[in-house]
Amino acid sequence: MAERRSPAAAFADRFATASKSGALTLAEIPFLRQINVRVDPESPAAADLGAALGVALPVSPGTAVRSGEVTVAWQGPDEWLVIGPEGYEAEPLRAALGDRHGSVVDVSAQRTTLLVGGPRAREVLAHGCAIDLHPSVFGPGAVAQTMLARAQVVLLPQQDGFLVLVRSSFAVYLAEWLLDAATEYVT
């Protein structure tokens, strides 16, 4: 396999430096498997996809469910993003869908994943994110597609912080923006 390079690879050192204060953790989690799934949630195919995933596709807007190491995040009324570890395969999902109407598209390289963790994570994101990030309304189990600064992102709140999924071509911009927004918290 040829050498791969993740979109924010050049930021590893600066992320590590910014994470030293303990106020904030910044890191790229590269090469996660991401699969875009489209299917009618009422259809037998949706049920079969759920069985293949080990968890039913969540039908409540803005929710994400977990099955082992895999997260299934609502993206639209007939659209989900499956996020798994690097070795997770899309093929069983394609097989579960079969030739019924729907789609299973590997979009692993479409977005990279940035971890924004630590006690000040919410404050850092609030500098550029207009949605309410308060844990009472946006805690683990939630997901939102929204804007962070001027980039579209998928936000997944974690027990400690957030996963920020950003399109690869915006990753450098967003990494620079995050480091800038972190200035007061890590200096």
Partner 1 sequence: MRRESGGRIDRTRTLRFRFDGRDYTGHPGDTLASALLANGVRQVATSVKLGRPRGIFAAGSEEPSALVQIEEPFPEPMLTATTVELYDGLVASGLPGQGRLATEPDPARYDATHAHCDVLVVGAGPAGLAAARAAARTGARVILADEQPEPGGHLLGTAEQVAGQPGTEWAAAVAAELAGLPEVTVLPRTTVFGHYDDNHLLAVERRTNHLGGAAPAHVARERVWRIRARRVVLATGAHERPIAFAGNDLPGVMLADAARTYVNRYGVLPGRRAVVFTTGDSAYAAAMDLVAAGVKVAAIVDVRPAPGAGWADRAREAGIEVLAGHVVTAAAGDGQVSSVLAGPHPETGAPAVGERSFDADLLLVSGGWNPVVHLFSQSGGTLRYDEALSTLVPGASRQAVEVVGAARGVFTLAGCLEDGATGGGAPAAAQAAGEPYWLVPSQDYRTHFVDLQRDVTVADVLRATGAGLRSVEHVKRYTTAGTAHDQGKTSGLLTTAVMAHALGVPVGELGATTFRAPYTPVSFAALAGRDRGALHDPVRVTALHEWHVAHGALFENVGQWKRPWYYPRPGEDMEAAVLRECRAAREGVAAMDASTLGKIDVVGPDAAELLDRLYTNMMSTLAVGAIRYGVMCRPDGMVVDDGTVIRLAEDHFLVTTTTGNAATVLDWMEEWLQTEWPWLRVHLTSVTDQWATVALVGPGSREVLAGLAPGLAVSAADFPFMTWRETEVAGMPARVCRISFSGELAYEINVTSWEGLALWEALMDSGAVTPYGTETMHVLRAEKGYPIVGQDTDGTVTPQDLGMSWVVSKKKADFIGKRSYARADTARADRKQLVGLLPEDPGRLLPEGTHLVELSSLPEPPVPMLGHVTSSYRSAALGRTFALALVSGGRARVGERLYAPVGDELVPVTVTSHVLYDPEGARRDG
Partner 2 sequence: MLLIPCPWCGPRDEAEFHYGGQAHVAYPADPGALSDEEWARYLFFRDNPKGSFAERWSHSAGCRRWFNAVRDTATNEIHAVYRVGEPRPVTP
Footprint of partner 2 on this chain (CB under 8 A)? Answer: 61-62, 75-77, 79, 130-131, 144-147, 152
**DSSP letters along 38-93, please?**
E--TTSHHHHHHHHHHTSPPP-STTBEEEETTEEEEEEETTEEEEEE-TT--SHHH
- From 73, 108, 115, 156, residue interacting with partner 1 (rule: CB under 8 A): 108
Closest to partner 2 by CB, 152 vs 168, is 152
Subset of 148-177 contacting partner 1 (CB under 8 A): 149-151, 167-170, 172-174, 176-177
Report the distance separating Cα 179 and Cα 100, nearest Å: 45
Q: What is the DSSP letter of 1?
A: -
Contact status: 1 vs partner 1 (CB under 8 A): yes
User: Residue 103 corresponds to which tokens in the numbers above?
Assistant: 């789609």
Contact status: 101 vs partner 1 (CB under 8 A): yes
Report the distance separating Cα 185 and Cα 187, nearest Å: 6
Closest to 86 measured CA to CA, from 19, 4, 160? 4
- From 129, 144, 153, 175, residue interacting with partner 1 (rule: CB under 8 A): 129
Among partner 2, partner 1, none, residue 101 binds (CB under 5-8 Å by kind): partner 1
Closest to partner 1 by CB, 50 vs 102, is 102
In the complex, least distance from residue 79 CB atom to partner 2, rounded to whole angstroms: 7
